[in-house]
């Protein structure tokens, strides 16, 4: 049975990767162009006026946050769109009636989201090298934070797809929740610049911990301790996974 489960998992992974690779000009190129514009406008033009942040050039300071922002949005969007399309076209019913455990279904879709998030993250990192030199303080922190964040937002995209009833519902969470949390997550500024009250409020934003941890991996500076970053990531992953498993097991929003 283990061999059969592995075949099922690999099949879902392959389908998901082929899905966004086949239309790479729509899935991989746009985020790279968007981040390049951020590098030019916020880094080169505005950054030259801001100067340094925590002893680093402003462009160096914002690069980790922009990479993480691209990973978050693409991992989320990939799973949300793919799973909802399968649900809308009734393809998901084939998986539900097949002898495939729920955790294999979740792992397959999440793996596709992680793959797209990592691909985009690598491409954005490559583009950033045209603006700043590569500076890595701790590789293991970079890799761990990148993968855990991609897993977390892939699970979040899966939950969005389960609850969504129309394609319009797929865009509601990214527009009204994900985008504000990301922009207020410390991508363009350090929490130390905020008054104490707003620092405390900002720490209620889980994206702050992810960006802080990722920035620590590159530059060795952080707004919150690294242990908090890893704890927040693992707790949210556990909660989102259990919720996704429970919903799919019950067929919430999947069975007519």
Q: Which two tokens stand for residue 199?
A: 């620092």
Q: What is the pLDDT of residues 232-256, one digit of tens each?
A: 999 999 999 999 999 988 877 676 5
What element of type H or E holds 113? Answer: helix 102-128
Q: Which two tokens stand for residue 61?
A: 């300071």
Per-position DSSP letters for 60-87, written without gaps between them = HHHHHHHHHHHHHHHHHHHHHHHHHHHH
Domain limits of the chain? 2-250
What is d(CA 224, CA 148) in angstroms, rounded to the nearest whole number? 17
Q: Which residue has the tokens 């964040």?
A: 149
What is d(CA 146, CA 71) in angstroms, rounded to the nearest whole number? 8
pTM of the model: 0.92
Region 61-84: mean pLDDT is 93
At residue 1, the pLDDT reads 53
Q: What is the pLDDT of residues 8-61, one digit of tens each?
A: 889 899 999 999 999 899 999 999 999 989 888 876 677 667 777 777 888 889
At residue 255, the pLDDT reads 63
Q: Which residues contact residue 200 at a Cβ distance below 8 angstroms, ignoring those fewer than 6 apart?
A: none
Q: What is the pLDDT of residues 159-204, one digit of tens each?
A: 999 888 888 788 888 888 888 888 888 888 888 888 888 888 888 9
Give the number of C-alpha atoms closer than 13 A to the C-alpha of residue 250, restricted to the C-beta side. Answer: 10
What is d(CA 220, CA 176) in angstroms, rounded to the nearest whole number? 32
At residue 47, the pLDDT reads 67
Q: What is the pLDDT of residues 88-139, one digit of tens each?
A: 887 777 777 778 888 999 999 999 999 999 999 999 999 999 888 888 888 9
């Amino acid at each position: 049975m283990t061999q059969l489960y592995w075949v099922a998992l690999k099949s879902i992974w392959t389908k998901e990767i082929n899905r966004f690779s086949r239309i790479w000009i729509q899935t991989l190129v746009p985020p790279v162009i968007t981040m390049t514009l951020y590098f030019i406008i916020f880094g080169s033009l505005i950054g030259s006026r801001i100067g340094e942040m925590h002893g680093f050039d402003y462009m160096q300071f914002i690069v980790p946050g922009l990479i993480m922002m691209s990973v978050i949005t693409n991992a989320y969007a990939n799973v949300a769109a793919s799973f909802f399309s399968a649900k809308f076209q009734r393809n998901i019913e084939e998986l539900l009636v097949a002898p495939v455990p729920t955790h294999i279904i979740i792992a397959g879709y999440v793996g596709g989201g992680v793959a797209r998030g990592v691909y985009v993250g690598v491409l954005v990192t490559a583009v950033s090298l045209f603006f700043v030199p590569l500076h890595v303080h701790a590789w293991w922190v970079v890799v761990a934070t990148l993968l855990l964040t991609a897993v977390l937002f892939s699970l979040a995209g899966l939950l969005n797809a389960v609850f969504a009833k129309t394609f319009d519902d797929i865009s509601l969470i990214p527009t009204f929740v994900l985008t504000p949390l990301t922009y207020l997550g410390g991508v363009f500024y350090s929490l130390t610049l905020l008054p104490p009250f707003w620092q405390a409020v900002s720490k209620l934003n889980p994206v702050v911990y992810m960006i802080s941890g990722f920035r620590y991996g590159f530059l060795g500076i952080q707004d919150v301790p690294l242990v908090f970053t890893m704890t927040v990531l693992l707790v949210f992953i556990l909660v989102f996974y259990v919720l996704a498993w429970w919903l799919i097991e019950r067929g919430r929003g999947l069975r007519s």
